[in-house]
Amino acid sequence: MDQRINLQYSINIDELPSEVQRLIDKCADQLYESYETINELRAHDQLFTLNTVQKLDTTRKKLSSIDHSLMDTQNIVRGFINFITDIKPSRQDDVYGEPSNNNEIVEPENNVMETVDEESNKEQSP
């Protein structure tokens, strides 16, 4: 069955870098497996077999799955970047004119912000 579903779960913001790394590592492992399968096919003299068809089909499906996982990971990273760049302190008065604490902004931990800054600097380096 090749149906995909969306999952939603929450983690502590400090766990986000390791979770994103886990997702990337999983994609890298699957990509390497696909690479090995293709290399095996390159080494065979008999390409016109049902085994070749099966391996190509499996590899195509795996590559599609990797693409979906990378898109999910990209969306997580983009969402986090949007989250940290859109933080604007705001305070609204409640119905009695008193400052309300319902809209408090919680700043992310410094080490998470440093990780984002480091990654941003890597992307901008030649």
> Using CA atoms, how far apart are residues 60 and 41, in angstroms rounded to an integer?
14
Bridge partners (DSSP) of residue 99 are 93
Tokens for 89, please give them. Answer: 């302190």
**pTM for this prediction:** 0.67
Tens digits of per-residue pLDDT, 10-49? 999 999 999 999 999 999 999 999 999 999 999 988 999 9
The confidence score (pLDDT) of residue 96 equals: 61
The span from the CA of 94 to the CA of 101, in Å, is: 9
pLDDT tens, residue by residue, 49-70: 999 999 999 999 999 999 999 9
